[in-house]
Each structure stands twice: as C-alpha cells, then as structure tokens.
Chains A and B, each alone.
Chain A
Amino acid sequence: MLLGLPYWLILVIPLGGSLLVPLAGRFSERMRDWTPAILMGITMVLSWSLLLEIGNPETQTSWTWIAVLGLNFEILLDPLSVVMAVLASTLCFLIYVYSTEYMAHEGDRDRFFFLMLAFGGGMLTLVLSNNLLIAFIGWEIMGFCSYGLIGFWSDRRNPMEVELDPIVYKNPLLQFETEGQYNTHCGTKAFVVTRIGDAFMLGGILILFVFTGTFSFTEMATNAQGWWQVMASIGLLVPTFLLIFLGAIGKSGQAPLQVWLPEAMAGPTSVSALIHAATMVKAGVYITARFLVTMVEAAGSNGNSGGHVYSTLQAVGFEAALSFFIVVAVIGGITALMTATMGMVSNELKQILAFSTLSQLGYMMLALGTGGILEANNLHFDYAYLSSILHVVSHGAFKALLFLASGGVIHALHTKYISKMGGLRKHMRKTFTIMWIGILALAGIPPFSGFWSKDSIIEYTYELAVHWTNPLGWILFVFAVLAAACTIFYSLRLMGITFYGPPKETHDSHDSQESHEEESEEHVESEEEHHDDHHSDPHDPGPAMMVPLYLLAAFTIIAFVVFPFIQNIVLESSQSWAEIMNEMIMVKLTMPGVVPFAITLFALAIGGIPGYIIYIRNADRKNTIIPETGFRRRIHNFLKHRWYINEFYYWVLNKFLNAAEWYRVRVDNNIIDGIDFKSADSAKAISGRARWFDDNVVDGFAEGISTQSVAGSERGQRAQTGVVNDYVGVIMFGIGLLVIIALITMGVI
C-alpha cells in the first residue's frame, strides 16, 4: 500500500481512532470535532491508493484472528471491495467535515463523533474483509452504531413536533410523550428490525461454512470442497443464500423489512446522510453483489471435492441459483416501486429522502438479481452488475448531497416538515441550486449521475424481459419504469413545496395552518419583513457545511466522465475512455437500447409534468389536488399510512407483547408460583395428616404397649407380698414342680 504501510491500517485507523475521540475531547473541543474528519481523511487517502493495487496480490493476510480455528483476517483487494471502500471513505470524510459545523452546538459530542467514526470503520471492515465472519462483525458494528446515532437525541424533553395533517395512531406502542422517547424508539426499531435479518444471515453464513469449511470469499470462489455441487445436490443452495439475503433485506431496507429506514430519520442529519449514502444500507447491496461474484466464480470452477463424504457429484452450474436471483430481483423491484409510492405523499423532508433511498436500493437489488438471472440463462451478468455498482456510487454521491443540503434547511428552519416550509429559494440560494442538482440526479434526468446508472438498470431489466422466457421479466421492467415515474414526481414535489411558493412562518413558531390559509398574497411580504426584525432569515450554512456539498455537486454533474473509469475498474477491462463513453451514449440512441430509453423518457414525462405543474408552476396557489374525501383521498391515505405495513407490524407486536404480558401476570406469576405455593400447602397438609397418624396411631400403639405393660407390672406387683412364708411356699412349690418334671423326663414315673 501507499508508503508500504500495512493494509490493516485502513480499518484500525477509524475503529481504533474512534476510541481516541473522547480522549481528544479532554484537551480541546475543536480538536475532538475534527478528529474523525482527519482520521477518515487519512483513511480515505489510503483507500484511494488501493485503486492502484487491485488484483495484485488479491488478498493480504494481516493477522491471525483465532489460531486454533484457522481464522485469519485478510484484506480483499478486488474491484468491488476497493470501489466500495473508496466510496465509503470519501463520503464518510465529507460527512464528518460537514458534521463539525452541523453539530457544533449540540451537547455530548464525544458520543456522537465516537459512534460516527466507528460507523465508518465498520463499513470499511465489511467491504475490505475477505473473511465472511469478520465482514459480519463490521456489519454488526454498523448496526450498533446506527442504534446509538439514530437515538442520539434520546434525552429531548420537548413534545414531538406535530405535522400539520398528522396521522393519528391508536397503537399504544406508537404513543410518545416526548421527542426523546420517540428518538429512542426509532433507534431501537432500527436495531431490532435489522437484527431480524442479521440473525438469519448468521444462520446462513454458518450453514455455508459447514459446507465450504472456510469463511474466506476467495476460497469459496475456488469452490472449496465442491460446496456448490454438494449444496445444490441436497437442495440447500437456494435456502442458504436466501437466509444470507435476509440479512441484506434487513440492512438495505428491502421489502418486507423496509419499515425501519423512514423512522431512522430521527437522528441528526449527518447521521442520516451517513446511513443512506455511505454505509449501512449499502452494506446489503454490497454483500449481495459480493455473493453474486463469488457464486459465479464458484459455479464456474470444478473445485476439489476434498475427500468429502459426497464423492459423486453431478455437474451443477450457475443455473442452480436461478430461483435465488429471481427472489432478489422481485424483492428489489417491489421495493423500488412500493417505497417510491410512499415517498409521493410524505410530508417530512428527510423521510421523503429516506423513501427515495429505499426505492433506489430496490433498483440496485433489482440490477443484481437481473444480473444473476441473466447469468443463469447463459447471458452475461457483468453489465447488470456493473450498473448496480454504478448506481451505488452515483446514489451515494447525490443522496449525501441531498441529505446534507436538507440538513442545512432543517438547521435553518427548525422544522422537519416540508408542509411548514416554502419559498426558501430566495433565502438559501446556494442550497437551492445544489438541491436542484441532487434532485435532478435522483430523478434520473440526463446528464446527471443518476441518469446513467438508473437508466442502464432499466435497460438491463428490459434485456431480461426480452430474452427471458419467463414473463416475470416484463413485470420487473414495468416496476422499474413505474418507479422512475414516481421518483421524478416526489422529487419535484419536494423541491416545489420546500423552495417555491410563499414562505411560511412556522420555522419560529408553532402557528396553526389556518392563519396561513387566510393570509393573502399582499400580507406575505410585510409578514416577512416583520420577521426580519426579530429573527434572522434562513440563510445558507457556513463553509464546513457548504464545501462538501460543492464537491458532491461537482461529482454529480460530471459523473458521466468518471463512470468509464469505474467500468474499467469493475469489469477489469482495458477499453479506452472514449470507446466506453461512446458506447454509453450510443446504446441509448440505437436499437435495441433506444426502446427502453424511450419508455423511460415517457415515464419521466408522466411523472414529471404533473409534478412540475402542481408543485412548482402553481406553487403559489393553494393545493387542492387531494380532496377531503373520495377515491384520491383514499389512495392518499393508503400511501400515507405506508401501505399499512408498518402499522400491521406494530399491531402484531402489540398483540404479541400483550399476550406475553398476560402470560407473565396470569401464568408465570400466578399459576407457576401458585403451584409452588399449593405444593407447599399440600406438603403442610400432608404433614398435618402424618402428624395425626404419628400422634394417634404410631404413638398410640407405642404408648398403648407401654401403658399396658405398666399396668401389667402393677398387677404383677401384687405378687410381691413381702411375706417370707409366701416366698418360701412358692419356692417349695417350684422345686417340687421341677422335681416332678425331672422324674417324668427320666422315665421314673
């Protein structure tokens, strides 16, 4: 590595450095705040230097973890890992820089920066480890850090901020008196929901280990012990990978475990950016991509059966995993569409972005699943896989951009609901421009980064639809296209409500909606000036927050220049930049690529034009698109309740907890304890009976004997007359009797 430094420094700097954060805090507040940024900056430089070393030598043993089990820690230097590491470390670095200003006035920053840095370290551990178990450790470190960070403001005592048009939940689990309670609940929810996936994933990893005998990805790829054939022949291949994929579902928020991510917005904005752009949710995509690559290689190699009990193996190729990838693609497609529709009605700024993240993650999974299905049908997987990686990169950049920019908005306005914002384009010009760049990239408008990656995903689903005999391919394609239409709609809605239209004053007071609606156009201006006297206008944040934004915006614009390089790295090809660039553009304009491109453009128009008309052109007018009642209101409510999935889970959980509580109170405390008491009572009762028996029968018997014998003796006493003559008489009688007996026995008589 750079300067001949050991590779493990990339992980140890952030993970070990996180422990230094509280120490640094003892000396200087400012030094503490910058510690994560500086350490991650070093890590970032080291990660970038890995780009030069891809493939030679692929793994590096750094240290022996558990000697008896032969578990080593190895760094994996293949294209996927390095690209992910570069992405993660760069975004983490930018976000940490941003946090120095964003968090500057919060308390307890020791904890915050400690968790932030450890979070980045966990992601790097995951992507760079060649050992599946250690990768899982990185995976879980992220889970823990996300728990701590989402619930960071756990001690806030103010009541929760209420939306203008709030959903009222009846479930007792969803009632929160204070914001602190709510935040803690969100962190806990994130941890528990992802843990559901993780637990099964651990099971899958361990089953896989039983067959491969190794946790090393590179050894798995050589088909160690012929695991591919063995597992396929006993039908465990797909179930095992589905278990592992459950972990990815949990972490990447795929359906049906998507419920935690929208609530994960309770934390500070830089945390949201970290979770969504750089780490955590990308982990699931990474691990799926990693297994796609490993499985393709393992299925392709013969492997040594290594004296395994199963000696005769039939040839099993990659098609054995077809149904696994169908599941991946379907879950990805469903997630992409479902969460995009939820995003169309949300009123919480960051929550809209969270839904959009879910939807984009769905695209990535869809691309990976498509790649797997293509491979199983003897078509190439690598371009679909590449488009997924490209989308990870471009989404990482523009989503970090969007979150950090919206963090500035929330910071300035002190509300998280877009329904209380409006007209910010006059006050936050820079943020406004940057936000537009991010939104256009998210919506997939050329030439911004999101377009290139998302459109190529749609293109490969189209290819799948055309070439695959299964009609499922068409369904996936339709899902992808519809999701694109929804995406542009909610993107424009977000921009329109936040930045256009009349300004609202709720950023400094909690007035009700009515007063706004009665306000006429003329009053708005004076109202604004009135505010200037007491409060500063919302304004763009300072340089530590803006510079990361500029960098991300620049990348988002020129991403298409960079993508050919990434393609060369990921596919390990050596085409020239111009060739790839030419190919990238031409594929959209010639047959057969032009068909999906045209369909996508049509979908963008379907979503974009209403979005533009309703929320941007008519931003100044009152929005009456959703009537109070009727079909559209019902749809709106359905989406607003997030398809009722979340509430359904809470309903089940509540019932379940009630049942457990009932069991505790009625059975565990009463009956089992009661059995103890009853048995004690009956033991007492039995003892009482035994005592009666003892007293009356046993004792009576013994006493009876003794009484009788005493009485007998007393009676016998009378024989003792004390008169010598009596005694002599008796003796004489006795002797006489003896003499007679003696004579009889001697036969005399």
Chain B
Amino acid sequence: MQAIEFPFMAISLAVLFLGGLLIYLFRGRLVESSGRVAVGISFASLVLMIPPFYRVLVEPIGAVFEGATWSEVLGEFGLYMDGIAFPITFAVVVLGFLSVVYAVGYTEHSENKPTFFANTLFFIMGMQWVTLATNLLEFFIAWELMLVPSYFLILFWGLPETKKRTAMKFWLYTQSGAVCILIGFGLLYFFTGSFELYTIISLLPAFISQLDMLKLIFILLAAGFLVKMAVFPIHWWLPPVHAEAPTPISVLLSGAMIETGAYALVRFGIVTLGPAALNLSFFVGLLGVITMFYGGLMALVQKDIKRLLAYSSVSQMGYVLFALGMITSYGVAGGLFHLINHAFSKGLLFMTAGAVIHQTHLRDVDLMGGLSNKMPITAFAAAIGAMSIAASPPLSGFASEWMMFLGGFDAVFLGTPGMRPEFLILSILAVSSSIVSAGYMLRYIWKVFLGPHPDALEEVKESSRWMTVPMIILGVLIVLFGILPGLALDVIIPGVQGIPSIIP
C-alpha cells in the first residue's frame, strides 16, 4: 500500500461535502440555479476520481491507497480502491453524477431545491466513502452518513401521502441493521485489537480455530449488510422506500446504495472472514435464490410502476447474493461485475419510470400504454435497461449473469472432493429464475410503452434534455459493457483471485 502524491479520492469526497455545504449555506441565492451548481460539483468530483480509476485500470499496481492517521487509538483512516472496490465505486461515481443531472430536470417544480441538492451530494459522498473505507470506524461513519441524507430526502421530497412513515420505516430497518454491524465490529476489535481492516485481515488467521466465533461475527455483519441489500426476510423496507422516494434518489438507492451492502459483504465477509463465509456458503446462496424468486414473482404483479422496479431490485440483489455466496472466483467476480451492470440498468429503468411519472402524472401501469410513440427516447432507453436486467445479450446484464451462474456450477463440482448436489439444485433454480426476470421486465415494457395508448395520454411529450441525456449515456454504457465486458473484468478478476479463501 503506497500513498500517492496527490490525494484525488479524498479531495473528491471533500468536494462533494463542501459543495453540498455551500449549496446549503447559500440556499437563499441559489434557489433556481442550485441544480446546475450541484451538477458542476458532482462533475468535479467525478473528474477527480478519474486518475484513481485510471491507475487501477491501466497500471499494474491494481490498487490505490490514500491514508492518514487520525488518532493512535482508532488507527489509520484511509481510502483504498482495488479490484474489489472498483466496480461499486465506479458505479456510484458515474451513477451519482448522472442522477444529479437527471434531478435537475426532475425537480423543475419541486420546492426547496438547494436543500434537496445539498442532501443529494451528501448522500453520494456517503456512498462513495463507504466503498473506499479501510477502517472499521471510518466505514461505520460513512455507512451512517449514507443513511442520514437519504432519510431526509425521503422525508421531505417523497410521495406526499406516505412519506413520513416510509422514511421512518427506512430509518428503523437500516438502523437496526447498523446495530448488528456495530456489534460485529466491536467483536472484531475485541479479538484483534485493531480497527484497521488490513491489520485485522493479517491477524485473523490466528483465530481460525475459533470458527464459531468467526461465524457469529459473520452472521452479525451479514445481517446488517443484508438489510441494506433487502434480502428476503428483511426486504420489506425496500419496495415502499424505492417506490416513494423522489426518482433521482430512487435511482441512487436502487442503483447504488443497496449494492454497497453487497460490496461490504465481499469486503468484510469473504475477504476478512473467509473461513466463516465458506462454511455458511450454502445458506447465503439459498437466501439469494429465495430472494430472486420472491422479488421476481412480486414484481410480476405490481401495479405501481416504481414498485415493480423496486421488487426487481430485490430480485437482482438475490442474484448477487447467490453469486457471492458461492465463493468461487467466477461467482464473486460476476457478482461484483453485476454491481456495475445492475447500477446502470436499474438506474436507467428508474430514470425512465421517473420520466413517465413526470410527464403523465400517473403511477399505475394499468392506466398507461403506448408511450413509445410519445416518448421514443425514454422507450428505447427502457428497452435497453429492461433487456439488460432480463440478461439478454449483448447487453451488460448478460455479461455478468452468466458468470454468476457459472460460479454456482463451479461451486457444485470444484468445492470439495466429489459433487455437492444441493449446490446443483440451487444453481439450476438460479438459472431458471431468469425466466421470471424476462417476464416482469417485458411486462413493464408492455404495460408502459407498448400497445395502443389510452386517449388520456394523447398530449404526453418527451421529457426534457436534462432527463433524456443521462438515460442515453447510461444506455450507451450498458451496451459498451455488454460488448466489451473485459474493460471491467480485467480489473475485477485479478482482484477476486487475490482473495485467499476463494475457490479458484
């Protein structure tokens, strides 16, 4: 871990934080222009992240580190990006910027815009920091920083009828997860006497004999992360929250925030607590399969346009969880790669849904139809996003899905000597769940964009450039990653193969 001269990642975070603060302080003067200022700030932070991305992608070092010691007791606080953190960081940075651009168009008629954008920037900063943190306490602070602004965003700009209880629900669910994480972190500190993740990783092999203790820590941490990922028994917060949040925030919640849970599961579960993760592999995979079917089936029958997509996120997180649970190099690499693809595809879909809601003022898919003639760009973007979620090549969703499934089949035959039939059943089920994905995604396209349009929607127009341009960019990125998955996989796979506990 060598420090580089100029701390790009830290400054990127600082730009987001100070920018958000400035917008808030000058909210009186920035009533109308706050969106554009936020776009500028967000763009600056995106540009500042380019050198670290470039170093990870192109230079053979494979990782970038910036760190400083804050207090001798707490250890070193650092920002670290390697092949494992790269996909989620990339997704957060790109999607964060695009969602801010999109928000400019979406919040045309909203009140209190400067506060909205300030909170959005804080939110993005929190997510970006979570993916880079190297210290348990630092991670936890960032984890909470991600939660607080999103709570306010839902509370003040959510769906008017239900926003209070939705925000409260969001807070309570994720906060109870955070409590589990805190206990888990406390136990880790108790064992190793350090908050620094890399010190912990180097010390943990000494505790390998205490597998039960490691499993307990793993379960505690996983409980917290799985709440964030909205896995089956604790998924219920996600559909109302994602459906009722303002759409640019839904884009971030569904596209990036829930994925930080998956990333943290890799970082703390598989990398740090490898033996425990291997031991619990089947149960994690089983939860994943249940989640993908549950989310998929519920998405098939939703009436609310955004709730349909929210359940699809639940289902997609099931795929990721299944893949990560297999702990094979293909599976984990595919799962991490899917974070990028899901972020872009689901972000894109939420943008299209938001555009439809913004232009038609409808939320019920039964009242829509035939919008492909009225909103051609939105319809085309939705087709790309939906096909990517339905894992239709050559879009990026397929590029990661086949790897996730292959990871499952690898786990069947390569795990221990002999075959593990329970994993075979899981993997076949996981593969067949892509039928349901295709079903609900086609239903979304059908109900919203195809068929003849109702007379009430005669006057609908395409949404503004602020909203269509981010959609087009995401669509292009999805196609690009679909045709050239090597762009990201060349970084992710070496990163994953460096994990000691992983099955090759």
Q: Which residues of A contact B (CB under 8 A)?
A: 64-69, 133, 136-137, 140-141, 143-144, 147, 151, 154-157, 178, 180-181, 184-185, 188, 191-192, 195-196, 199-200, 202-203, 206-207, 209-211, 234, 309, 657, 660-661, 663-664, 668, 672-673, 676
Contacts and interface: CB of A to CB of B under 8 A. Distances in A.
Contacts of B417: 309
B423 to A, nearest CB: 11
Contacts of A663: 297-298, 301
B451 A155 contact: yes
Q: Chain A at the B interface: mostly helix, strand, loop or mixed? A: helix
A18 to B, nearest CB: 12
Given A67-B486, A151-B450, A196 B435 contact: yes
A199 B451 contact: no
Given A68-B489, A141-B393, A199-B435, A664 B298 contact: yes
B490 A68 contact: yes
B435 A207 contact: no
Interface string B388-421: 0010111000100010011011101110010100
Interface in B468-501: 485-486, 489-490, 493-494
A405 to B, nearest CB: 30
Contact of B393 (A140, A185, A309): A140
Nearest to A68: B493
Given A67-B490, A180-B450, 7 more contacts: A155-B452, A156-B452, A184-B451, A195-B438, A203-B405, A206-B431, A664-B302
B372 A155 contact: yes
A400 B128 CA distance: 56
Contact of B405 (A67, A68, A202, A309): A202
Contact of B494 (A68, A151, A191, A207): A68
Contact of B412 (A155, A196, A210, A676): A210
Contacts of B65: none
B453 interface: yes
B451 A206 contact: no
Contacts of B398: 137, 140
Nearest to B479: A19
Interface string B364-403: 0000001011000000000000010010111000100010
Contacts of B434: 195, 199, 202
Interface centre among B300, B390, B393, by most chain A C-beta atoms within 10 angstroms, is B393
A64 B487 CA distance: 12
B55 interface: no
B352 interface: no
A181 B438 CA distance: 18
B352 to A, nearest CB: 17
A188 B489 contact: no
Interface in B281-335: 297-298, 300-302
Question: Nearest 4 CB-CB pairs, A to B?
Answer: A137-B393, A203-B431, A180-B452, A154-B450
Nearest to A178: B452
Given A69-B493, A206-B405, A673 B236 contact: yes
A663 B402 CA distance: 31
16 contacts: A65-B485, A66-B489, A69-B489, A141-B393, A180-B450, A192-B438, A195-B435, A195-B438, A199-B431, A202-B402, A203-B409, A207-B412, A210-B413, A657-B300, A668-B298, A676-B169
B427 interface: yes
B432 interface: yes
Contacts of A206: 402, 405-406, 408-409, 431
Contacts of B140: none
B432 A180 contact: no
A180 B417 CA distance: 56
B373 to A, nearest CB: 6
A188 B494 CA distance: 39
Given A66-B489, A68-B490, A157-B452, A210 B372 contact: no
Contacts of A188: 442-443, 446
B431 A200 contact: yes
Given A210-B406, A210-B409, A672-B236, A66 B414 contact: no
Contact of B301 (A154, A210, A660): A660
A25 to B, nearest CB: 13
Contacts of B414: 210
B428 interface: yes
Interface string B429-464: 001111100110011001000111100000000000
Contact of B236 (A196, A207, A676): A676
A201 B453 CA distance: 36
B486 A155 contact: no
Given A154-B450, A157-B452, A191 B301 contact: no
A143 B434 CA distance: 14
Nearest to A108: B373
A599 B451 CA distance: 50
A490 B67 CA distance: 79
Contacts of B410: 210
